[in-house]
Structure 1
Amino acid sequence: MSHARIIVDRDFTIADVSPRLFGSFVEHMGRCVYTGIYEPGHPEADDQGFRKDVMALAKELGATVVRYPGGNFVSGYNWEDGVGPREDRPVRIDGAWHTIETNAFGLHEFVEWARRADMEVMEAINLGTRGVDEARALVEYANHPSGTYWSDLRREHAAAAGTSGEPFGIKLWCLGNELDGPWQIGHKTAEEYGRLAQEAAKAMKLVDPNIELVAVGSSGKQMPTFGTWEQTVLTHTYDEVDYISMHAYYQEHDGDAASFLAEAVNMDGFIDGVVATIDAVKAAGKHTKQIDISFDEWNVWYQQGLETEDQPDQVAKEWKSHPRLIEDRYSVTDAVVVGTLMHSLLRHGDRVRIANQAQLVNVIAPIRSEENGPAWRQTIFWPFARIAELATGEILRLVVDADQQPTARHGDVDVIDAAATYDAETGVLSLFIANRGLEEAADVTLDLRGFTASEVLRAEVLTIPEGGDRHTANDLQSQEAVGLVPLEGVRLGDSGQSSAVTMSLPALSWAVVQVKVA
């Protein structure tokens, strides 16, 4: 049995909970769009061809903002191809994922889908093969009321489709995608990208001064230009942008589950490094405003060690429209890791104000669907959904005193990882806790300071189901093999009015505990 004490102090806060932390991502990649969110002819399709079963799960997931249309896809995409009558839209090659793009689904369809799904649109522009003129035209098309070429064309296209011609009102815009990466169409040096992004940002804000802009940061902490890329890009764009992006994907390597379960340590360090660089540029440039972070791609993604038919190198053998592509099957272990990555985002909620799990459906996603078939929740659906639902109010700064667990990649780490929020309006304290231990249960004591607990409102845990193991997953045959179940034995002090809460977490588990406090 391992042990941990978590100090939860009412006065030690980090920031308010940004609703945009619970974002998702829809890219024209694999089956995310076609047979994912959009499948005319499916028994669950609505009047626009949107799958109602997938939309219901997306709403249950609680995603608040959704990034579109990429991703690597956007760096070779002409947004004009996806507007206007479908019969007039060109069929194109997508070099990013070696597929055929029919353009049957484009900007109007996506904005309408997001409206029905109650999500804010985060639009990415192509700064790989295109530039300033296309960027400002897209903002005019999307946001200008009427009376100009692009705004009137939007209204014309909407009228022909029988939908509203009102402005889309897109607030969030990404200035390209992963242009530090040699794999990216239109890859650039930091100097080249910084100047282009600065001029595109200026032109876009001349069209709509109320938009918020995200500059491209490093595609990962492992990039050889990490740090210097951010410094150069922000030196050019600091006055024009509001955020800089971060991307990170994690996977288990060579059966090293202990290191994989501690990847939130890597995410913590990555965020701290970007914050330090932002603030160094701010100081050097004598700027007054604060640039924050948009962590607009993150998830578990098994990029190495797989030879399945849905891997990019296998798909690239022939040109297809929406082939299966990186449809990772997520296990109990993956779900616990996703929970801890969300803890990291909360712990840095003062600077990470936007985050997007990649992606929403089928492609490394919490939701899976089959063509002409059902849709279901993967294991990683559950920690995201519960945190998105229950993390409200203020993020608290916790002190965790826990037994240590050795890892090959991260050294000794706490066996318990946690985050918490407190909502003063409802008097509810929400704790999100993971036991990284593979073998031992963990006794956990919450030491409440400035709070008195009176009632346990909710206690749920995701762990290895009876008869399963850490690799157990939800799939087409066993769609509910893994989920949240009641966490028994969460106790307050004997008087019923307590400054301590105790519980025992099973080995390899993620839990949520909500307590009524005063």
Structure 2
Amino acid sequence: MHRAHIVLDRQAVIAPVRRRTFGSFVEHLGRCVYTGIYEPEHPSANKDGFRMDVVDLVRELGSTTIRYPGGNFVSGFRWEDSIGPRDKRPVRRDLAWHSLESNQIGLDEFAAWLKLTGSELMLAVNLGTRGILSALDLLEYANHPSGTALSDLRIANGTPEPHNIRMWCLGNEMDGPWQTGFLNAEDYGKLAARTASAMKMADKDLELVVCGSSSAGMPTFGDWERTVLEHSFEHVDYISCHAYYQEHDGDLGSFLASALDMDFFIDGVAATVDHVAAKKHSSKKIGISFDEWNVWYQKEHQESDEVNDEWRHAPRQLEDVYSAADAVVVGNLLMTLLKRSDRVTSASLAQLVNVIAPIMTEPGGPAWRQTSFYPFSITSRLAAGEVIRPAIESPTYTTARYGEASVIDAVATVEEDRSALFLVNRGLSQPAQVTVDVRSLGSSRILEALTLADQDVYAKNTLAEPNRVVPHTNPNATMTDGVLTIELPPVSWTAVALH
């Protein structure tokens, strides 16, 4: 058995828990929208055609902010197509995902859906094939109260109150050659700066996200962030990060250590932000919006029959079915985002329903929780107050991709009368006994201890077996004299709430 010891110091505060860390993402891709959140003929659908079984799961998941409508989709999107009478909305080709878009769901409908889920809208504008004027028009339609051409059009379309959207993305992955209308860093940085400046002329309190490079593996990484920020620094509030992880060639040990790569990525972007700030002699703090992150089996997608020459409406695309091991990685990635709350102040799990998602649906049938649903929902529910940096003594192991990794990883949050501890055991075969000194937190008893693990690390939740992998109460958690002792199964994620 592995043995580890953790000390939690109430004074070792990293930053407040950012509620926007628990954001998600809805893109017009595959079945995320159509037969995902919207299916008028479904037995659970409300009068607006939204699946209420999905709404209930989204509320349980605890998503706070939803990025919309893309993603790669946004770079070919004409927002005007998706407003007004539905029978007059055009069907368009979506070049990003090679499918047909009916435009039956647009801004007004999606904003109405968000009210059902209690989530905040984070809206992306098209800087791939459109630009400043389109972004300003969308801003006027969305946020101006009344008395202008576009605000009055919104009212005529049945939405009298402005949407009051605060957070806006200036395009998506604009350095990616797969992006419709992709740009080099100089051209994008100038366009983003001009767009941001114009949008803040309309509303100086908007929060604007400029695109970072599409991943840390891009040849543009680093130089892209520097160049873009040198142009746009004064006008924007966030820079984006995107990262996806998967198990490669049976190397589960490296996969379980994926959070090390995410942490390194955040370090690199933060260093570039600080470099540009220093160069400009500025005290302004640019946040990191990690607005796409998840486990995604991209290689398998690229080799599948999803990639073809057909033009289809809402095809089944990117419907990864997640294992227990995938859920452990998702939980660990979310722990890393919490640990970096000093720099990462917004994040979006990509995506929400059906498409690399924690929630799955069957047309006309049930909705169910993927394995990855649980670490996200439990962390969103328990994490509050301030994030505490743990001092961890743990054995290590060697990974092929990321070097030395700690077997045990952890993060904690604390508020006035309760605290929460999140742990992973990356050990492939051995359980771990972990002792945690919580005397500094004033914790006196365990409120709950939940562990997600399975003897088969590749076990999955499916339509046939929707509850194959679920969290269970950990029977081996005890508290004595301010020391928590808990046993963690191999390849597991655990949450402990303390009074």
Q: Which residue of 1 aligns with 2:426?
A: 436
List per-residue Cα deviations over 1:144-179 (Å, max 9, x = no partner): 011111111111111xxxxx4110000100000000
Query: Does residue 1:458 correspond to 2:448, yes or no?
Result: yes
Q: For 1:321 and 1:399, locate their aligned partners in 2 and report how far apart those are by CA, in whole Å.
A: 51
Q: Which residue of 2 aligns with 1:151?
A: 151
Q: For 2:12 and 2:306, locate their aligned partners in 1 and report how far apart those are by CA, in whole Å.
A: 50
Q: For 1:235 and 1:44, locate their aligned partners in 2 and report how far apart those are by CA, in whole Å.
A: 50
Partners of 1:46 and 1:52 within 8 A in 2? yes
List per-residue Cα deviations over 1:461-489 (Å, max 9, x = no partner): 0000xxx5111000000000111101012
Query: Does residue 1:503 correspond to 2:491, yes or no?
Result: no
Q: Secondary structure at the match of 1:113?
A: helix
Q: For 1:251 and 1:453, locate their aligned partners in 2 and report how far apart those are by CA, in whole Å.
A: 37
Q: Which residue of 2 aligns with 1:132?
A: 132
**How far 1:288 sits from its partner (Å)?**
1.9
Partners of 2:292 and 2:348 within 8 A in 1? yes
Unaligned runs of 5+ in 2: none
Q: Percent identity?
A: 54
Partners of 1:453 and 1:492 within 8 A in 2? no
Q: Secondary structure at the match of 1:111?
A: helix
Q: For 1:63 and 1:344, locate their aligned partners in 2 and report how far apart those are by CA, in whole Å.
A: 17
Query: Does residue 1:470 correspond to 2:470, yes or no?
Result: no
Q: Secondary structure at the match of 2:457?
A: coil
Q: For 1:446 and 1:331, locate their aligned partners in 2 and report how far apart those are by CA, in whole Å.
A: 28
Partners of 1:143 and 1:208 within 8 A in 2? no
Q: For 1:46 and 1:398, locate their aligned partners in 2 and report how far apart those are by CA, in whole Å.
A: 46
2:168 pairs, out of 162, 168, 173, with 173
**How far 1:208 sits from its partner (Å)?**
1.8
Query: Does residue 1:479 correspond to 2:474, yes or no?
Result: no
List per-residue Cα deviations over 1:412-432 (Å, max 9, x = no partner): 2110111110012xx211000
List per-residue Cα deviations over 1:210-231 (Å, max 9, x = no partner): 2110000011110001010000
**How far 1:490 sits from its partner (Å)?**
1.0
Q: Which residue of 2 aligns with 1:182?
A: 177
List per-residue Cα deviations over 1:396-448 (Å, max 9, x = no partner): 01111101122111112110111110012xx2110000101110000101023
Q: For 1:421 and 1:412, locate their aligned partners in 2 and report how far apart those are by CA, in whole Å.
A: 26
Q: Which residue of 2 aligns with 1:62?
A: 62
Q: Secondary structure at the match of 1:304?
A: helix
**How far 1:451 sits from its partner (Å)?**
2.8
Q: Which residue of 1 aligns with 2:41?
A: 41
**How far 1:3 sits from its partner (Å)?**
1.1
RMSD: 1.0
Give the aligned length. Answer: 499
Q: What aligned pairs does 1:234-313 form with structure 2 within 5 A after superposition?
A: 234-305=229-300, 311=304
Q: Which residue of 2 aligns with 1:161?
A: none
Partners of 2:461 and 2:467 within 8 A in 1? yes
Q: For 1:351 and 1:305, locate their aligned partners in 2 and report how far apart those are by CA, in whole Å.
A: 33
**How far 1:306 sits from its partner (Å)?**
5.2
Q: Secondary structure at the match of 1:335?
A: helix
Q: Which residue of 2 aligns with 1:512?
A: 495
List per-residue Cα deviations over 1:47-68 (Å, max 9, x = no partner): 1000000010000000000000
Q: Secondary structure at the match of 2:70?
A: coil
Q: For 1:242 and 1:150, locate their aligned partners in 2 and report how far apart those are by CA, in whole Å.
A: 26
Q: For 1:440 and 1:430, locate their aligned partners in 2 and report how far apart those are by CA, in whole Å.
A: 24
Q: For 2:230 and 2:65, locate their aligned partners in 1 and report how far apart those are by CA, in whole Å.
A: 28
List per-residue Cα deviations over 1:108-136 (Å, max 9, x = no partner): 11010011110000000000000000001
Q: Which residue of 1 aligns with 2:83?
A: 83
Q: Secondary structure at the match of 2:8?
A: strand
List per-residue Cα deviations over 1:294-333 (Å, max 9, x = no partner): 000000000114577xx4x634331100000010000000
Query: Does residue 1:371 correspond to 2:371, yes or no?
Result: no
1:401 pairs, out of 380, 384, 393, with 393
Q: For 1:41 and 1:417, locate their aligned partners in 2 and report how far apart those are by CA, in whole Å.
A: 45
Q: Which residue of 2 aligns with 1:347?
A: 339
Q: Which residue of 1 aligns with 2:225?
A: 230
Q: For 2:410, give the aligned amino acid.
A: A
Q: What aligned pairs does 1:106-121 form with structure 2 within 5 A after superposition?
A: 106-121=106-121
1:327 pairs, out of 319, 323, 327, with 319
Partners of 2:306 and 2:316 within 8 A in 1? no
Q: Secondary structure at the match of 2:393?
A: strand
Q: For 1:211 and 1:449, locate their aligned partners in 2 and report how far apart those are by CA, in whole Å.
A: 42
Q: Which residue of 2 aligns with 1:123?
A: 123
Q: For 2:277 and 2:244, locate their aligned partners in 1 and report how far apart those are by CA, in whole Å.
A: 28
Partners of 2:418 and 2:443 within 8 A in 1? no
Q: 1:198 to 1:307 in 2, by over 3 A?
A: closer
Q: For 1:449 and 1:229, locate their aligned partners in 2 and report how far apart those are by CA, in whole Å.
A: 46
Query: Does residue 1:53 correspond to 2:25, yes or no?
Result: no
Q: For 1:456, give the aligned amino acid.
A: I
Q: For 1:123 and 1:305, locate their aligned partners in 2 and report how far apart those are by CA, in whole Å.
A: 30
Q: 1:449 to 1:258 in 2, by over 3 A?
A: same
Partners of 1:331 and 1:472 within 8 A in 2? yes
Q: For 1:430 and 1:214, locate their aligned partners in 2 and report how far apart those are by CA, in whole Å.
A: 30
**How far 1:514 sits from its partner (Å)?**
1.2
Stretch of structure 1 that moved more, 23-32 or 313-322: 313-322
Partners of 1:139 and 1:208 within 8 A in 2? no
